[in-house]
Amino acid sequence: MAMDTGIQTESYGGQQAKKLQQVLGRWDIIFFTVSGVIGVDTVAYAAQTGYQIITWTLLSAVLYLLPYGLITAELTAAYPKEGGLYFWVRRAFGPYIGSTVSFLYWISNPIWMGSLAVTAVGTLSDAFSWHLTNGGGTLLALGVVWLATLVEVTYLRIAKWAVNVGAVIKFALLILLGGGALFAALTKGAANPASVAKFIPNFSTTLVLMPVLIFNWVGFELQSNAAEEIINPRRDVPRSILVSGLLAAFGYSLGIFGVLVMTPASRLSAITGLLGAFQGIFGSPALIALLAIAIAIGYIVSGTTWLIGVDRSFATSGWDGSIPRFFGHFHNRFGTPDRVAVLSGLVPTVLIVVNYFTYHGAGLSGTYNNLLNAAFVAALFPYLFMLPAAIILRRRDPEIQRPYTIPGGALGLWIAVLLSFAFSFVAVFANFIPSRLTGVTPGGALQLVYYFIGEIVVATVFFLWARRERSLPAATHSAAD
């Protein structure tokens, strides 16, 4: 049964859609989701808040991760369309909101890629005792950015193996860290002793915890952005969400525990904290060097995985006519969003260079904090629209076949949306709260406000620019069940 999306079919979108290649099987999207949800770069960042973050991790896994996963599973099963998040939001809220959300969803990840590149360089520098100048560290970080771009823009059937291997490496690192830390604590004692009181949430720091906490969890919808490149999305995506959610909750808890147990509070570092915890467990320089390489690979793969997903969402809004169609182009041979991919490399390049000159004295650490905080601002905002879209679309399209629905009927749907929306709402606005834990100063908070306003302005300009290119709202291509 054909589904009337209420959006005119556009030949340009159809031309681009023909370039897509169905190459992602069940295990590919499980690994893809695990790689997207598990980001080892923020484990040490989160650990700076102390043992209470483990309590919040477990609580948010039940109150946020579970309902968010259920929502994503229902939306993907009902609308297995390329572009995923963009398609759902546009269908629910219209082309302008869809376009703006797609832009914010995309822009946060090139920014984050910049922070990942800096973290990877910092980890390798610490492990191999490189005495890098700020300029040298900046050049290496730029090399990491363009390596990730090169991987992303090639055939998905090739790039998926980098994601698959990276997912295994990241999960293995967290298991090794948690297990090794537990053994070391039992035999040698903990560097940062734990007590029941330390696990009790301190609500004075709850708000500043939320951005990194929710940022750790998001990513279930990533594979849905490549839905038409999945062999059987309606069957396999809900399963991948269940498996990856369980693995993520287990892995994150172990990883954060490992960092906290093995690293004294005075030495916790967002950039080198993960490696520092391993150094506290293992004494072999050769093993530490190998682990540093694995950690750096994990950082790079995290960024690459997200760019594969968000670049497709953004490019789809281009072939749909919500942003300039120049950005909706897919490579004729590779079937990947080539122009957006290059743009995703240029954005962190500019930001890293600007931060080098602006925060020259702060070095890698200052660059990392500024890029990560800026990424938080844009990354979490789109979920304020994606999550309630599930309610709107179930009411708007009652005739659409839904192979999977959230248990509990309408009440179950509302509970899932309200819980996940509440966490997302707090996380979005907590970005702007100055705190020593996050490194956001009052002046930095104001700068983040300017970043966000600027992103909204650019998104609006893109939408108005695209409006001149179309006589009627354009659609991706015909939508069918």
Of 106, 103, 88, residue with least CA distance to 460: 103
Q: How far apart are CA 435 and CA 53, in angstroms?
A: 16
pLDDT at position 354 is 80
Q: Is the pLDDT of residue 71 over 70?
A: yes
Q: Is the pLDDT of residue 392 over 60?
A: yes
| pTM, two decimal places | 0.85
DSSP 8-state assignment for residue 468:
T
Of 307, 314, 242, residue with least CA distance to 73: 242
Which band of pLDDT confidence, cut at 50, 70 and 90, is reported for residue 475?
A: very low
Tokens of 12: 């340009």
DSSP string, 266-293: GG--TTTHHHHHHHHH---HHHHHHHHH
Q: When comparing pLDDT for 359 and 326, which is higher?
A: 326
**124-162 pLDDT tens trace:** 888 888 887 778 888 999 999 999 999 999 989 999 999
Alpha-carbon distances, residue 192 vs 173, 209, 257 (angstroms): 20, 20, 10
Of 166, 219, 221, 232, residue with least CA distance to 23: 232
Q: Is the pLDDT of residue 185 over 60?
A: yes
pLDDT at position 471 is 55
**274-318 pLDDT tens trace:** 787 888 888 788 999 999 999 999 989 989 999 999 999 999 999
- The burial class, CB within 10 Å (0-12 / 13-18 / 19+), for 395 is exposed
**426-455 pLDDT tens trace:** 988 888 887 776 667 787 788 788 888 888
Ordered structural domains, the chain, with CATH: 19-472 (1.20.1740.10)
Q: How far apart are CA 5 and CA 385, in angstroms?
A: 18
**240-282 pLDDT tens trace:** 888 888 888 888 888 888 888 887 766 666 556 678 788 888 8
Which band of pLDDT confidence, cut at 50, 70 and 90, is reported for residue 50?
A: confident
Which band of pLDDT confidence, cut at 50, 70 and 90, is reported for residue 6?
A: very low
Q: How far apart are CA 105 and CA 99, in angstroms?
A: 10
Helix (H, G, I), strand (E, B) or coil at 9: strand
Q: Is the pLDDT of residue 417 over 80?
A: yes
Q: How far apart are CA 268 and CA 376, in angstroms?
A: 21
Q: Is the pLDDT of residue 4 over 50?
A: no
Helix (H, G, I), strand (E, B) or coil at 376: helix
Which band of pLDDT confidence, cut at 50, 70 and 90, is reported for residue 383?
A: very high
